[in-house]
């Protein structure tokens, strides 16, 4: 398996992974990605901007993530806590999804390790992400992989999310 930047040809498969995650969230009472987001235009923008990545083997895509180095406007204010770093730039993971048939097989870890490697290579001190409070599987995954709970952030649509950061 290898990780590469997503291409336009991957759009349909990435949307399939996003839609699998949406259905999983709905079935498990996780109020995340239930109001139309992310939609195909969001994913297309991710791909065109070069910030979408896929985990693939022999042209089969097992997982995807949006990954950037920069600043997320939703992370400027954090409530009931604080970030681990006070930096102008950090790595950010969003829209992380693994094929339902391959969860628990190390695919998520491979994507996360790739993000960590990019952070190390760029000298970026941390990775931040946010999750819906009831997303227990993702919470367990990130805590097991070195992330720490930092507080609460509000998305642009004012939805509340738990904020996590991992030092590199």
| Cβ pair 53, 5 in contact under 8 A | yes
CATH of the domain at 13: 3.40.630.30
167 forms bridges with which residues in the sheet? 126
What does the DSSP assignment read for 3-39? EEE--GGGHHHHHHHHHHHHHHHHHTT--SS-SS-S-
Q: Which pLDDT does position 80 carry in this prediction?
A: 97
**Rounded distance between C-alpha atoms, residue 100 and residue 95, angstroms:** 15
Sorted by sequence, the CB contacts under 8 Å of residue 167 that are 6+ apart come out as: 84, 85, 125, 126, 146
Element (H, E) at 66: strand 60-70
Provide the domain limits for residue 153: 2-167
Dump strand ranges (E) for 102-159.
126-131, 148-154
Confidence of residue 87 (pLDDT cuts 50, 70, 90): confident
Helix, strand, or coil (residue 130): strand
The count of structural domains within the chain is: 1
pLDDT tens-place string over residues 114-161: 999 999 999 999 999 999 999 999 999 999 999 999 999 999 989 999
pLDDT tens-place string over residues 90-105: 999 999 999 999 998 9
**Of 80, 92, 149, nearest to 126 (Cα)?**
92
């Amino acid at each position: 398996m290898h990780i590469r930047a997503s291409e336009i040809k991957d759009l349909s498969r990435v949307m399939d992974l996003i839609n699998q995650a949406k259905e999983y969230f709905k079935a498990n009472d996780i109020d995340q990605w239930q109001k139309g987001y992310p939609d195909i235009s969001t994913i297309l923008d991710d791909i065109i901007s070069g910030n979408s990545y896929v985990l693939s083997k022999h042209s089969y895509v097992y997982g995807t993530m949006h990954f950037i180095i920069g600043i997320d406007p939703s992370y400027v204010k954090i409530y009931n806590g604080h970030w681990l770093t006070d930096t102008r730039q950090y790595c950010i993971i969003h829209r992380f999804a693994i094929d339902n048939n391959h969860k628990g097989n190390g695919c998520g870890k491979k994507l996360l390790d790739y993000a960590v490697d990019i952070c190390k290579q760029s000298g970026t001190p941390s990775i931040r992400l946010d999750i819906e409070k009831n997303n227990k599987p993702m919470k367990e995954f990130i805590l097991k992989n070195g992330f720490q709970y930092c507080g609460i952030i509000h998305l642009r649509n004012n939805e509340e999310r738990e904020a996590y950061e991992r030092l590199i």
